Chains A and B, each alone.
Chain A
Amino acid sequence: MYIGIVKRVIVALFTALLVVSCGKQNKEAFYNTGIIYCSESNPVTFNPQLDTSSTTSDATSHQIYDRLLDFDPDSGRIVPSLASSWLVSNDGLTYAFQLRKDVKFHKTHYFTPTRNFNADDVVFSINRWRLPSHPFHSVSGGRYPYFESLGLAQNIAAVRRVNGYRVEITLRRRDSSFLANLATDFAVILSKEYASALFDAGNPSKIDNLPIGTGPFKFESYRKDRFIKYLRHKDYWRNDELAAQDNNNMPASKEFDDESNEEAQAFNAASKQGDNAHDELLGVEQLIFDITPRSSLRLAKLMTGECDATAFPAQTELEVIRTRNDLTLAEKPGLNIGFWAFNTQRPPFDNPDVRRALASAIDKNTLLEAVYFDSATRAKTLLPAASWAFQNDADDTAYNPVLARQLLANAGVKEGFSMTIWAMPVERAYNPNATKMAELIQRYLRDIGVEATIVSYDWATFRRHLQDGLHDSVLIGWSADNGDPDNFYRPLLSCGAIPSGTNRAMWCDEDYDRLLNEALQTEDIDERTAIYHQVNRLLYERLPLVPIAHAYRYQAYREELNGVVINPFGGVRFGGVEKTL
């Protein structure tokens, strides 16, 4: 008799547990008000000037800040942003920027702006990284790797505030890539008022941890290894501008790189220039960056709807995303390069023959197939096919283990020589699985009698040790920030780039730098391309690093999101994204 009671109790218990916990993922209206983006790791800081890693610029540059100029995601040309128009002098040394009016800074729980964006903010933002004497220069380490690698600080003579909404910058030497550099993710505009308020309060480093900008989202909170929370910037300047604009299509701005007319290109881009990507910019109430280091977990969360978009889907998962109809996969030939850099300051890697031996010991095609699953093209030089200075007939190292053994022998490297391969722990478009590539290379090197051990740390510690040059060789890469070829050569291998930490090969060569500066002097495309071909030749002879692949850029998101634009220069932009469940 009592068996019946016990049985009924247990059955009731089970059904209750199941009913409560299951039930289809609810499609309540509430979930439309927020976008969750699964990012791959923590940003090092909230001021992109201080760090070149794409994680940092993803999390900050396009969400919190604005720049003077922007790139048009479709054509890649420079379009006005905070600078509504700009004037270049004939000798190409002075640039005058007309700034946009009534652009409001963020109003957050830690700062309330009293005035709009004006010239002082531009001068403050540029002088901060330019002038070592600037009060905010040494705040949070005082290292501005991108600008140091380009040597921009030395090239800018003066930044002058003409009036409330007009700034003039004069250079020492002509630099055709200057405008492109002002449009990169790193040239963001900070708020001078916020900076001075912090300076008086005595903790200036807060400017880089609790950011204030003019971008579509304002910073709300950050938990390391867990999430970053942004709220919508109610009065974002693009919203008002769009509301005022009658929505016929504006004439596209003049071709920037049409070099034909030599006289000053007076771009009187109409102040109402709006680019069609950010049409109605109401967007969502809150944006969350859910930090999920494992790529398989990111995809799982995308499938269950816990994430609306993910960063760097792994190559093996592309097939799965394409087959599912509730996910969309945006694909673009990426402006990036994955390479295997040798630490040229450590013997025996200072000897080019040893580097050539190691380069010819590996078979690039198999690496492409095994790691990139054929979603990348073989790299001969640093420049990908999408860049206008691409050299198709550049010479490349072939897979030749016999030659490798010979070179090693006469370079005096004995059998069983051991070296380290540092594999970066995070996924990147240019190298989706560095550990796996390292294991493959390890096997190739074992064939020619070289014992390689794989070293990997957490991303922040990894980059700190790389900067101190503790590595023999490293598998890493670089994704360009603007379409200019100089953005590949200078940050990766110029002497100036070693202290800034972007020159992983720690390689310094006078005639390499001489050629790069020469290229910057001319505006003429063919002349610059010829110089870059000479640079490619020089790199092939010295071989400080082995270029491996130019990968496609992928962006996976759920089909509920519309308005997502894939940006060829990396970075994800949620400004105008709308979510309808």
Chain B
Amino acid sequence: MIQILTRYCTLLTITLLVLAVMSFSLAYLFPGDTLENLTGLVPQNDVQREALERQFKLDSSVVVQFFYYLGNLLVGDWGYSFTSGLPLAEEVSIAMPATIELATYAMLMALFVGVPLGYYAGIRSYSTTDHLLNGASMTTYSFPVFWLALLLILVFSLQFDAAPLSGRISLLYDVPRVTGFILVDVLLSDLENKSLAFKDALSHIALPTLAIGAITTASMIRITRRSVIDVKHKAYIAAAVSRGLSSWQIFTRHVLRNALLPILPLMAIQITTLITNAMIVETLFSWPGIGNWLIQAIYQRDYPALRIGMMAVSTLVITLTILVDLFNRLIDPSREKYEHAAV
């Protein structure tokens, strides 16, 4: 147990180190002056340039620079953005929770809708409902996310005027920022029309979550269905039938757990596609998340923002993936047998 933990911790630190090196090298790879890319400060005159270079140890060897840079990273002094001039730590701490919130709701939707549907399709395999579900999930899965988002906007926002299409909440509400998650902040805030604000926030979050959630739910259904069908044909299920267990008992005691185990490693891959889809959908719904911020940064050639954005998002995704892998390794007794099951 401890051995697995240490292995995963070393893996995490090595990967984060590799990431730090990549983000450090980006400062040199980006066009424009390295000093500006590294710090985000634009030196007006040469005197300031020397001072900055000495401060950031640009004159000394690359290794020393890197460790100084690493120190800055850990301590939270990430430099300043070209365009807005705000410290990047603050910008990321505002933008990141919005994306995490969106991705979490989509993931919850995928888990609580996708997995049960997958089980249902798997149990009733090769029946009409199964073909229906399989067809639906195949179609939703092959929707490009921006096209699905556009369709949702056209149908739900413009046609039925059921849900708004931009921002996290109507700008008339002044919601103080506590955790950065809009629904939580509204609940924690002491606005006088709090229920109205909450309903407004919910209607704002409905379409983006549906856009990302639908695709992840579709792939969840496919994975779970395949896993349930594989388990159903296993020998121990026939043994259980021969022991006279009822189909409900068989489902809860054997099918449920054994089908779940191969799904977990695949959920790690889902997180990556989820974050990518979230970043694309943010630009369409002008959701103030990290994706939107990064794409604005690209248009404005704001290199420090890109460097830190890359670092922040990949750290988040990689830590999540490794945690899911670790969790899966701990609860699954016969890990080697379940090498990544095919989708």
Contacts and interface: CB of A to CB of B under 8 A. Distances in A.
Are A and B in direct contact (Cβ within 8 Å)?
A: yes
B206 to A, nearest CB: 3
Given A20-B202, A30-B172, A225-B296, A297 B166 contact: yes
B300 interface: yes
A30 to B, nearest CB: 5
A33 interface: yes
Interface stretch (A21-29, A151-159, A488-496): A21-29
A226 B86 CA distance: 14
Given A33-B172, A36-B172, A460-B83, A301 B165 contact: yes
Nearest to B112: A13
A304 B172 contact: no
A303 interface: yes
A30 B193 contact: yes
B164 A224 contact: no
Contacts of A292: 166, 286
B49 interface: no
Interface in A29-73: 30-31, 33-34, 36
Interface in B113-170: 113, 116-117, 119-120, 123-124, 153, 156-158, 160-167, 170
Interface residues of A, number: 43
B172 A288 contact: yes
Contact of A10 (B116, B170, B205): B116
B242 interface: no
B75 to A, nearest CB: 25
B203 interface: yes
B288 interface: yes
A306 interface: yes
Nearest to B170: A306
A36 B169 CA distance: 13
Contacts of A17: 109
Contacts of B203: 21-23
Interface string B194-206: 0010011011011
Among A21, A226, A292, find the residue whose CB has the most chain B CB atoms closer than 10 A.
A21
A305 B163 CA distance: 10
B84 A6 contact: no
Contacts of A31: 170, 172
A3 interface: yes
B239 interface: no
A256 interface: no
A290 interface: yes
Interface string A293-310: 000010011011110000
Contacts of B84: 224-225
A274 to B, nearest CB: 30
A460 B84 CA distance: 11
A458 B300 contact: yes
A6 B202 contact: no
A23 B116 CA distance: 27
B197 to A, nearest CB: 9
A1 interface: yes
B116 A21 contact: no
A330 to B, nearest CB: 23
B105 to A, nearest CB: 10
B171 interface: yes
Most buried by B among A9, A14, A458: A458
Contacts of A36: 170-172
Contacts of A229: 171, 174
Given A28-B196, A224-B84, A301-B166, A10 B286 contact: no
Interface in B242-276: 247-248, 251
B57 interface: no
A391 interface: no
A425 to B, nearest CB: 9
Contacts of B123: 3
A22 B157 CA distance: 10
A340 to B, nearest CB: 24
Contacts of B286: 292, 297
Nearest to A303: B158
A263 B241 CA distance: 113
B280 to A, nearest CB: 15
Given A22-B162, A224-B84, A292-B166, A304 B157 contact: yes
A221 B246 CA distance: 65
Contact of B167 (A23, A290, A457): A290
Contacts of B288: 226
Contact of B301 (A14, A24, A461): A461
Given A26-B196, A26-B199, A225-B296, A306 B167 contact: yes
Interface in B32-90: 83-84
A21 B171 contact: no
Given A2-B248, A10-B116, A461-B300, A25 B164 contact: yes
B147 to A, nearest CB: 16
A286 interface: yes
Contacts of A7: 120
B171 A13 contact: no
B120 A10 contact: yes
A227 interface: yes
A458 B248 contact: no
A125 B342 CA distance: 72
Contacts of B247: 2
**What 8 pairs between A and B have smallest CB-CB spacing?**
A21-B206, A34-B172, A22-B162, A288-B171, A458-B300, A224-B84, A2-B248, A306-B164
25 contacts: A3-B120, A3-B124, A6-B120, A7-B120, A10-B116, A13-B113, A21-B205, A21-B206, A21-B210, A22-B162, A23-B199, A23-B203, A25-B161, A36-B170, A36-B171, A224-B83, A224-B84, A286-B172, A290-B171, A300-B165, A300-B166, A304-B158, A304-B164, A304-B165, A306-B170
Interface of A: 1-3, 6-7, 9-10, 13-14, 17, 20-26, 28, 30-31, 33-34, 36, 224-227, 229, 286, 288, 290, 292, 297, 300-301, 303-306, 457-458, 460-461
